[in-house]
Structure 1
């Protein structure tokens, strides 16, 4: 039985008038390749639908061709609001990029999907800035999804090192701690993930493959 994965990407393309942003391609591409290799059915969705912007900084340096090739799956994403049947998905995966900090935290449809999947023991996974999509999620009893959970995400220290912290609406690690999460940080730019039941989070771009493999492990 093939598994069905929902990958939700940002459609925010700027931090302010002078600074462009978007999706961090490797965090989408590495996970996509991992899931596609196993024949999983993958739906790529976003808040606005249509073309998802890729942060140009994520294309600097050597990017493997198979990762570059996944960009074609970002050309016509499904609008989140158009997804009616959440039960079809076995897992949701949120890749990062600074864009997620602007359009995922307050997206009520995303919150609804994540809550529904989590409460029926489906897999919820996010990497780097992707966990920005988790901070607004409350369970049916009103408690924050991440309260009391061991999680990680792009750390405040990593954010300051990028010097982009001044453009962020909030710092992700700080927000997650404020919501009662048991936030676990590793050294900057090291491959690090946290697994708490069916909630899987990765710290940075270096952690994407580890998170994707953990999703596969949970689904097999």
Structure 2
């Protein structure tokens, strides 16, 4: 039987501070999905609200010369226009082999505190199934806990969109907090990042309380996150 991965997108379509559009980030869905799809992995797409999950328009412009992203945008719209509500999966973790969160700034505002998402992450971790995320996606783990109430990421090495990268895209002032700082706090100082901003960085950690945690730093890390997830699935 083909492995099954639950892919989660944000439902947040605007920055609360200025109402400018945001959402999920095109290459951070397109590249991992392509890798999983080509390997025969089945994917189901969910979001907090269900229905159409908002694609960040700036990511379409930014990656208009990225062939995989363009093909995905043109040919796979049904994936994000018909997402299933996250709540529908809380009792169905046994159907899946891993969970993956796509980045974009949206998750900073909805998935960070989403009760269904936090329940799912805990259930996947307890079942020793990989939990994974890229760029701003790792914010979903900030408030995740073990059944005993400890931070799920305690002692885990992780990466995510860095402070320098946030400053360079000039969006730090719109953030509820800086993701690098928060992850450093939750993990006990185990945040890591590429030597240079925008460089590829993926961290696969099996040492913390969360079991197998896979995180990628930025859009350039999306392909490698997909490959790490395949490896974790034994493919």
Measured against the shorter chain, the TM-score band is over 0.9
Name which of structure 1's ranges 36-45 and 68-77 shifts more when overlaid on structure 2: 68-77
Partner of residue 151, structure 1: 158
Deviation at 1:66, TM superposition (A): 2.6
Partner of residue 23, structure 1: 24
Using the alignment, how far apart are the partners of 1:147 and 1:66 within structure 2?
39
1:191 to 186, 190, 200: 200
1:151 is paired with a residue whose SS is coil
The aligned runs of 1:24-103 (5 Å cut-off) are 24-60=25-61, 61-64=64-67, 65-68=70-73, 69-83=75-89, 84-103=91-110
Q: TM-score, normalised by structure 2?
A: 0.91
Larger % of strand: which? 1
Partner of residue 210, structure 1: 224
1:144 is paired with a residue whose SS is coil
Q: Which consecutive residues of structure 2, in runs of 5 or more, have no partner in the other structure?
A: 207-211
2:204 is paired with a residue whose SS is strand
Q: Is the 8 A contact 1:25 1:71 kept in 2?
A: no
RMSD: 1.1
Q: Which consecutive residues of structure 1, in runs of 5 or more, have no partner in the other structure?
A: none
Using the alignment, how far apart are the partners of 2:82 and 2:24 within structure 1?
14
- Alignment size in residue pairs: 220
Deviation at 1:30, TM superposition (A): 0.8
2:112 is paired with a residue whose SS is coil
Deviation at 1:120, TM superposition (A): 1.5
Q: Is the 8 A contact 1:97 1:129 kept in 2?
A: yes
Q: Deviating runs (4+, > 3 A) in structure 1?
A: none
Per-residue Cα deviation, 1:94-141 (whole angstroms, up to 9, x for no partner): 110001100011011111111111111101110000001111100112
Deviation at 1:72, TM superposition (A): 2.7
Change (3 A) 1:63 1:72: farther
Q: TM-score, normalised by structure 1?
A: 0.96
